[in-house]
Each structure stands twice: as structure tokens, then as C-alpha cells.
Structure 1
């Protein structure tokens, strides 16, 4: 298990995985659903503030990915393809016909796959620094190898890993508002290292650019201006293929919903009010 910042509301069996999830309004079928998919090594509690902000207006469902938070392990490696399959299966398990899907990092890549390949299930899409939209060249592959080596060192519990991991997360979650999340993630750094190494191995082949133009629902791209992992400049050409796109940027490192929650929630509210029916 990785980051545990709070208890989940319920569990569901999805493709052989016991998935724990937060569900703000189970049984409230009259409420529109916002399905929130977290970044690798994070957890459903990334969306606790958002859940509170939308209480009574939206049913916010946020799972922990397999082997993270309170969810059980998976027989499959952590990839955007697998995560999209699990997200769709979770909607089925919870009896949710349609949802607006929000995803951060690998969660964003999974959300985009779900929207492009199953448009009848997705009413809107929110990409928060979504992975897989920037081309992967030689420099990016070298960076991915370096990160895989870092997380393998964590898996072997090298003494210096926690220091390096903390430095990494000072760039990923930059603001005082993210301090609690950052501390919890760093404290769990050795435990999360195996799944981080596995996910980063798959990032060399993570490419959802060809799916961007197939998304027909309204899309909000919420991007951190200081993101060095999935920079907006490299992702912008793919984003511009999306027919119905709203773009907002934030003074953040990789997860604006955690780092700048008030600003992000204001933008999200406007998007939901004006674009999602």
C-alpha cells in the first residue's frame, strides 16, 4: 500500500481487483457524477477538497488505483490502458451510466482513453497535466530511464533515496497548500517505489496523442505552469486537436487541484456550469 490520507467509503470488485473508492453520494442517482483518477503514487484523498467543494451538487467518486491507498494488488502492470479499463469497470460496478471524468498525470491519460473509446459513457473530460500528450524522443527516454533507476533504488531501500524522493516532490507539489500531501507521499516513498518504477517503465510507450482528436465531449485542460514532467508546451499540439477545449494554467508543479485548490475549484466550477449539461 502507498498513501493513506483517509478512509475510503466503499469497495468494488473490478476485473479481479479489490478497488477502494471515495463516493460522496452513493445512491444519489439524481446527481451528476465526477469520476476522479489520481496520479501514480498518490490516492483518492487528492480529491478530498474537491469532494467537499462540490457536496450536494455532484457525486464525486475517487478510486485508489491498485496497490495504492487501500486498493488491492493487480495482476496487470500499471498502465494508462489498464487504468482506463479499471475506470470503466468501476463505473459498471457502481451502476453509473455516464460521468464527467477528471484525471491527473497517468489518470489523465486513462481518462482521455475512456472518453475517446467510450464516448457514450463520458459527458465531459478534465485533464490535469495529463500524461501521454507530449512526444517521447531520445531526451525523454533518457529521463524516463533515470527515473526508473531512481525508483528501483527506492525499491532496494537505498539510504539516500528518501532525500532524493523528497527533492523530487518539492518540484512536483510546490505550494504550502500541498504540504500535507507532499509529506505523506514522501513518508511512503520506500513503499511506493516498486509501483512507481513499474509505471515509469511503461511511460516510454505512453502515447495517447492520436486519441485527442476523437474526444467529442467538452474538455478542460488544467495545467501547472512549472510542470517539468509533462510540460504544457510539449503537450499543446495534441491538446489543440481536441474539438471543444478550454485551457487554464496554474502556479503549480504537477497537480493544481492539490497545490492551488481554491483557484482550481473555481475554474472547474465554471467549466462544469457552462459546458456540462
Structure 2
């Protein structure tokens, strides 16, 4: 059972609305009219990471930007924080909102959720766009791997005591303005760090990370199922100066899914939609304008599953280790 509060009337502002699904409150923003675009944020973030692009996208599309369970204003229960669980939750949210199909855009961890959604519910996925996404290679910043270590919860509890947290946020924001590509995303990191003051948020994030990362890096990959993207338009967007997930993973995507469009944005980090919002919107518009929504065919899906990847998952994974950025879709600079 579910209930919404308040009503889901269209809004020209990024007002947060709520729906209760399976006993847990989920926050989301819904704005605009037209074809549906579902925006999925990354680890430790919330719908506000999309704030620079939501209003512009809403001129052409119905934009849905939820706070994933365990994040933002959504509930943070002891629950299923797997990518499959998140994909199920997005299907249920769209169903409650009366939406059958969407172009799914996922950033970082949200990219992993987007891929899982497209895999589990191809009949409800029109297109897939991955933004600095997880699931395209093992490498990830040590800061995320550290979340899986014993004692993280207790140490972060001390580091988020009021005085310490304030000093840490000020320091991170100051460093984000330094003329150095290694510090460009620290303003966003400051917001994630601040969210860890909530004990339930720390527990949720730890469960999320442990489901997809171990001490060696990412453990969830799309390599063995990337051949299924043959039946669906796919685009990959990355910041050239990403220090969280290496930009070469964009090349991995081109190797896994040769039909994918790959766009690498110069002078952008792990949040290219925030670094260059106008260019990001143009990329989304061009992707949607120039592609037809995927049409689900059970026979075609069966054939793809039966035939599998010609080289197998092992070959795809090996190619990912050495892949460089092979395809760049050139669009005008911002």
C-alpha cells in the first residue's frame, strides 16, 4: 500500500513531495511536463545535486528527482540497500506517480541503480544515461572504500560532532576554490560529510557501500550484461578531471557497449552536471531528440540472453582493464 502527500500536481518550483512505500517515506521532486526523465543521485547526495539542471530540463520534460532511501529527506531504516532493491523502489515510485516509462539518468552510485533498473525493467526504460557512473570498472576513490572498514561509524561520529563538523565543512569548502583539479568537488563532499551527523544516515550509507564496494574497489559491474544495451539507447557522460571514479571508465563503457554515445566534458570533475549545467542539459536534449525510445520485445530480449556476449563476460572484463576513451560525441562547448 502507498499514499502520497501532498498531491502530485505539477509545480514550477523544486518543491519536495513525499510518498510512503512499503512503510517508508520517500522524498522526491516532480516538475515540468512532457516525456519523463528520472534523475538518480549518487552516494551520500540527494535530489539537490540536480538542482542546477532540473528547471531547465523541466521546460521540455517531466522531471522526477527522488531522494533514494537512506539519503536526503527520505527515510533511513534498516532495509534493503542493494542496487536491486533501489531499482525496485524506483519502479514502485513511478507506478504510484502514474508513470509507465522514463529516460533514466544516473550519477555515480545512481548510475549503478539506473543500469539495474534498465536490466530488471527494460519494458519501462526508454533510454539510459550514465553520469560518472559506478559499475564500469573496479577503481574508486579510497575515501569510499574506507566506508567499508570496521570503525567507520564510530570515527565518523566523532568527526561530525558540532564543532569539528563546522570546522571540517569550512575547510572543505575553502579548499574547493583552490586552483587545483584534485579539490574541485570538495564543496559537494562537504555536504555529504555534513549529512553524516545523522547516525541513521551513516548506517544507511555503510550498508549501501558494502553492497557494491570492498577493500579492492567496486564489486558490481555491468560487463557481463552490457550486451543487452544493444536494444536500448545509451549515453555516458564524464568529467575529464574526475578524481572519484577514473574517466577511463567512460572508455570501458564504449568497450562494453559499442553502441553507447560517450561524452567527456573538459574542466569538469565528478559532478559534470554541476560544473557545466548548460552543456549537460544540451547533451540530454540531444540524446533524447536524436534517439527513439527503446521498444521492449520479449523475443529480442530472449534472443540476446540466449546468445549472450560473443566474447563472454571474461573478455569484456579484460577489455575494460586496458580500454581508453574510444568514442567522444562532440557537442558545442558551454
Question: Normalized against structure 1, the TM-score is what?
Answer: 0.81
Q: Give the match for residue 210 of structure 1.
A: 224
Match of 1:86 among 60, 84, 89: 89
Q: Give the match for residue 76 of structure 2.
A: 73
SS at match of 2:48: helix
Q: Give the match for residue 260 of structure 2.
A: 245
Q: Which runs of 5+ in 1 are unaligned?
A: 1-5
User: RMSD in angstroms over aligned alpha carbons?
Assistant: 3.2
Q: Give the match for residue 3 of structure 1.
A: none
Q: Give the match for residue 48 of structure 1.
A: 51
Q: Give the match for residue 255 of structure 1.
A: 271
Distance 2:51 2:129 in 1: 17
Distance 1:206 1:165 in 2: 34
Distance 2:242 2:152 in 1: 20
Match of 1:11 among 18, 35, 38: 18
Are 1:173 and 1:182, in contact at CA under 8 Å, matched by a contact in 2? no
Distance 2:132 2:77 in 1: 25
Question: Normalized against structure 2, the TM-score is what?
Answer: 0.68
Q: Give the match for residue 6 of structure 2.
A: none
Are 2:44 and 2:71, in contact at CA under 8 Å, matched by a contact in 1? yes
Query: Kindly tell me: are residues 196 and 166 of structure 1, through their superposed partners in 2, closer, same or farther at Cα, counting changes over 3 Å?
Result: farther
Deviations 1:72-110 (A, max 9, x none): 124324332221111111111111110000001111001
Q: Decide which moves more: 245-254 or 204-213.
A: 204-213
Deviations 1:184-210 (A, max 9, x none): 444334335433333222222322322
SS at match of 1:240: helix
Distance 2:222 2:235 in 1: 16
Match of 2:197 among 161, 165, 190: 190
Q: Decide which moves more: 120-129 or 16-25.
A: 16-25
Match of 2:208 among 173, 178, 199: 199
Structure showing greater relative contact order (alpha-carbon pairs closer than 8 Å, 6 or more residues apart):
1
Are 1:16 and 1:74, in contact at CA under 8 Å, matched by a contact in 2? no
Bigger radius of gyration, 1 or 2? 2
SS at match of 2:133: coil
SS at match of 2:241: coil
Following superposition, the deviation at residue 263 of structure 1 comes to 1.9
Match of 2:117 among 104, 109, 114: 114
Distance 2:226 2:247 in 1: 15
SS at match of 2:27: strand
Alignment of 1:16-165 (within 5 A): 16-25=23-32, 28=33, 31-135=34-138, 145-149=145-149, 151-152=152-153, 153-157=155-159, 163=168
